[in-house]
Amino acid sequence: MATEQKEVERLLREVKLQRDWTFSWKTADELASIGAAAIPRLIEALGNEDGYVREVAANALGKIGDRRAVGPLIQAMQYRDDRVYEDDEDCEARVKAATALGCIADPGSVEPLIETLKYSMEKDITLSWYVIDALGMLGDRRAIPILESISDHADIDVRKSVNGALNKLTQ
């Protein structure tokens, strides 16, 4: 267990140093392979000021699929850092948190995802695409009304995401 914790810490430190998307993806896979032993530290990492660390933690937690991460992932999805980033890692961290919620598929995620979608449609259209996808992954019909209400949105990617989610929800 102590060895796994040291590996988690090492990988999270490396993410901060590397600041590279490819490395982040590989690291998320490595962290996910550690499994349940990594969950407490990954949940803690969701509150890190570094967007790369939050993104990797959310990605790994989604791959692990443990419901203990749902509340912290909801918070991470709603976290806003007003600093300007070169690679927009703050947005990427929110996107990965939304995707992780879809992967975990806990019914308690539906309402927070819907509320985030209402906000993001005006403030963060990129996040909207992923929230819509997560709602489709969850398979909960409570999402249908809001998805139908934005099905004719001007943004083509929103429409594509809505169509995909509605197809999943109405099968």
- Residue whose token pair is 């988690």: 8
Euclidean distance between CA atoms 151 and 48, whole angstroms: 35
Q: What percent of the chain has pLDDT over 70?
A: 95
Q: CA distances (Å), 33 to each of 24, 38, 76, 95, 131, in order?
A: 14, 9, 22, 21, 25
- pTM score: 0.92
- The model's confidence at residue 53, banded by pLDDT at 50, 70 and 90, is very high
Tell me the pLDDT tens digit for each residue of 150-167.
Answer: 999 999 999 999 999 999
State residue 1's pLDDT score. Answer: 60
Tell me the domains of the chain and their CATH numbers. 1-104 (1.25.10.10), 107-171 (1.25.10.10)
Average pLDDT of span 34-47: 96
Q: What percent of the chain has pLDDT over 90?
A: 77
Q: Is the predicted pLDDT of residue 99 greater than 90, yes or no?
A: yes
